[in-house]
Amino acid sequence: MTAPLPQAEGIRPRVLVIMGVSGSGKTTVAEGLHNILGWPYQEGDLLHPKANVDKMAAGIPLTDEDRWPWLALCRQWIDARIAEGGGGILTCSALKRSYRDVLRQGTDDVVFVYLKVPEPVLQARLARRKGHYMPPSLLPSQLATLEEPAPDEHALVIDIESTVAEVIAATLGKLKYGLKN
């Protein structure tokens, strides 16, 4: 585990699920938070079963049935971090409330960080992205599936119209001052 930087002082360890549609910046933000907080980090896309990856690579949207085994693996990772008590950072689209319910079930130690990005920005990012199995053609299906977190979900909503550094700073500020530590 990486030693936390001074910016992390006063932030209680918990599991952060960096969520949003493809192209929202989940990986970039998660890596930045990992570098500052020093908490273990898991790229959620790497937990997808091969059948899911193949389906997305072929331009076929995932169904709920496709996502449940993946969400179970994400939840196992979360449970391991909670058992260790040192926090963690997971990228996971977590598009529906029912998915987030699975990920946070039975614990208050999961915080969703929703990266909210305007559709034109997402389209431009995906058009430039190289080497990812998720084609830009699946963005409309993700946006149609997305259920933004409701107030009772205690998610941090981060509007992505700033630099990565500003997004990370806003997230750290909300973790430090916007939630009960």
What is the greatest pairwise CA distance in the chain?
45
Both structure tokens of 45: 């896309």
What's the pLDDT at 180?
A: 46
What SS3 string covers the chain?
CCCCCHHHCCCCCCEEEEECCCCCCHHHHHHHHHHHHCCCEEEHHHHCCHHHHHHHHCCCCCCHHHHHHHHHHHHHHHHHHHHHCCCEEEECCCCCHHHHHHHHCCCCCEEEEEEECCHHHHHHHHHHCCCCCCCHHHHHHHHHHCCCCCHHHCCEEEECCCCHHHHHHHHHHHHHHHCCC
pLDDT in tens, 56-83: 888 888 899 999 999 999 999 999 999 9
Percent of the chain predicted with pLDDT > 70: 89
Question: CA separation (Å) from 25 to 135, 158, 164, 167?
Answer: 15, 11, 9, 10
Domains and their CATH numbers in the chain = 12-177 (3.40.50.300)
Q: Which residues of the chain have pLDDT under 50?
A: 180-181
pLDDT in tens, 142-156: 888 999 999 999 899
78, 70 Cβ separation under 8 angstroms: no
